[in-house]
Chain A
């Protein structure tokens, strides 16, 4: 078993944030910087972008030093900042059971959030063209049936019921003007 020297999963967060820092630095530097005596609109964003880039470099340096499979508990301890009197063991357990203790790679299961994002994007586009009812029904069916793996006899009535509920809350209750609806005759 050959373990790689560099842990790729540990590198991507720092690399992405460095990219963001540099990108915003380029954008900010195009604005008027002014001077310390009379700061222009670009000064503050430039300072922030520099800060992001520098801290990202530090993150990358730390990630490079980190061995691939060393115990996460030990890594966690490096990051924990206790208040006097705290119980170390308890704090460890608390962090461990909190979501996302460390950066994680993408797995086969990561496809579900991807599908969900595509579904939501489709919903937004359809909503602008066809109004609330049909896209809402489609999104709910997609979510409960495909992502939630409910049976049809659960997914269909739930989707229809929730669509009606949403329509009642927003359409009637709050009087929100939706785009023209393809299914329901729209008076507006």
Chain B
């Protein structure tokens, strides 16, 4: 079979000693920042962009992917042991995980989380291997109008799902698209919105923007919300679940994997929704729902599996359609672009080494995480002793010097600071920075395909609806909007008709 052959060559790429090393560095760093409060995977990957640019593309993506799913593992450790979710995606784990810790079953909770994550991560990668080539083959037929519709749909979904306020996210997305127009107009060559600066002729540097918004912005925000972390001594106990535990959790793991995978494919679906959906399903399916919130092992196993499956599935829209589905995927997208590779349907055919190498490295990464986490959980908790003041000071200097090293130009240090302040203010104002960065990386494609479509159709907007593929995509969008409106109306009606008691 083609897929199996391709995968075998992918393993050759992933198993070369240097890629193996970057995979290990990635999952280790991810695991560590997942545990550390205040520095999430998005911030970490942004900080490491200058370093990633010095690597060959497949190695840098292997490392970034490792940080991404490694952080999911790490996040479960602090939520379970200390009731401190390092990531939004691990909040749900605190409900039953921390209860299990209080009952002296911390090790079992962590063990089942690690095993569930491993199973889910692996299933997601298998799904990715078999689904991606077909989807890409279908998308190869896309022309400019299809891309314009698909890209807008992707941005809309990201602004809609996974954020708190759609209107605010829409402003952010439009602002990101606007920022992407700075520099030379790709079609006419005229200069736009550079504010008279020669440095901006080539546009805003993507890395500087991401490092500012995600890195410095988050650090500034955390400075204001100083949390004094106290490390309670927790006994982890035995890590391997018993046969009984495993029997109780196995279906939760499988269901979580499937839910996570399908939610993860949706742009903006991401891990938060996946964990919440999985928790809801487990509670509904369970014969003893009253155990939930009191240390039910399914309540840990399901969501933890779901967030890892979602992390793997998030690569599908990126690698097959060229649509990044969250902030981390946007960073990977930007890195690929800077390496001269446009993520999209052609990627699998033109760069099979990259695609299959990254996919295979995820199998290996998941195994490495399992090996790291089962024996060394106790060691990872000790990381909470690291003073956040020192960590942040180091991170901020690393960011500024890192961005300087990109072009040996201090102008970009100013850009980082500017976007750091912007990122801080956005967080204060309740604006999610992710749609902005995501729209920024897609901005040139969206504008280009939008204008090309209009030129093709002589200014007739019907081109977006009459071509079968783009019309179909538009129809899907319309259905989605209808569903959203209907569900809101239904919810409002239910609420006015007396609220259900919380269970």
Contacts and interface: CB of A to CB of B under 8 A. Distances in A.
A163 to B, nearest CB: 8
Contacts, number: 240
Contact of A93 (B91, B171, B394, B400): B91
A139 interface: yes
B280 A90 contact: yes
A95 interface: yes
Contacts of B429: 12-13, 16, 103
A174 B405 contact: yes
A45 interface: yes
Interface residues on B, range: 35 or more
Nearest to B275: A94
Given A85-B284, A128-B410, A166-B398, 5 more contacts: A82-B487, A113-B424, A116-B396, A170-B405, A178-B404
18 contacts: A24-B178, A39-B454, A41-B190, A44-B181, A44-B451, A48-B174, A51-B174, A79-B165, A86-B277, A97-B88, A97-B91, A99-B427, A127-B410, A144-B393, A176-B401, A176-B408, A177-B408, A178-B404
Contacts of A170: 401-402, 405
B455 interface: yes
Given A85-B280, A143-B389, A103 B430 contact: yes
Contacts of B178: 24, 45, 48-49, 52
B171 A45 contact: no
B308 to A, nearest CB: 17
Contacts of A143: 389, 392-393, 396
Given A35-B459, A55-B170, A144 B390 contact: yes
Interface of B: 54, 85, 88, 91-92, 95, 160-161, 164-168, 170-171, 174-175, 177-178, 181, 185, 187-188, 190, 192-193, 216, 219-221, 223-226, 259, 263, 269, 272-273, 275-277, 279-281, 283-284, 387-390, 392-394, 396-398, 400-402, 404-405, 408, 410, 413-414, 417, 420-421, 424-425, 427-431, 447, 450-451, 454-455, 458-459, 461, 484, 487-488, 491, 495, 502-503
A126 B190 CA distance: 35
A143 B398 CA distance: 13
Contact of A56 (B171, B276, B392, B430): B171
B493 to A, nearest CB: 14
A71 B502 CA distance: 17
Given A20-B175, A79-B166, A103-B429, A91 B221 contact: no
Contact of A87 (B225, B279, B414): B279
- Those 10 A-B pairs whose CB atoms lie nearest each other, nearest first: A148-B389, A87-B280, A37-B459, A36-B459, A13-B429, A143-B393, A41-B185, A103-B430, A113-B220, A94-B91
Residue of B164, B225, B410, B421 most packed against chain A (CB within 10 A): B164
Given A45-B181, A85-B281, A143-B396, A13 B168 contact: yes
Nearest to B398: A166
A77 B54 CA distance: 45
B171 A55 contact: yes
A68 to B, nearest CB: 16
Contacts of A176: 401, 404-405, 408
B280 A52 contact: no
B425 to A, nearest CB: 8
A27 interface: yes
Interface string A122-143: 0110011000100010011001
Contacts of B177: 48
B161 A166 contact: no
Most buried by A among B279, B484, B503: B279
B171 A80 contact: no
Given A103-B430, A162-B393, A147 B223 contact: yes
A162 B397 CA distance: 9
A147 B190 contact: no
A24 B195 CA distance: 11
Given A41-B185, A91-B276, A162-B397, A174 B54 contact: yes
A94 B223 contact: no
A59 B276 contact: no
A87 B164 contact: no
A20 to B, nearest CB: 7
- Of the listed residues B220, B393, B451, the one surrounded by the most CB atoms of chain A closer than 10 A to its CB is B393
A117 B451 CA distance: 40
A101 B392 contact: no
A136 B397 contact: yes
Candidate in A20, A85, A104, A113 with the most chain B CB atoms within 10 angstroms: A113
A4 interface: no
Contacts of A62: 167
B175 A100 contact: no
B162 to A, nearest CB: 9
Contacts of B187: 41
B226 A13 contact: no
A1 interface: no
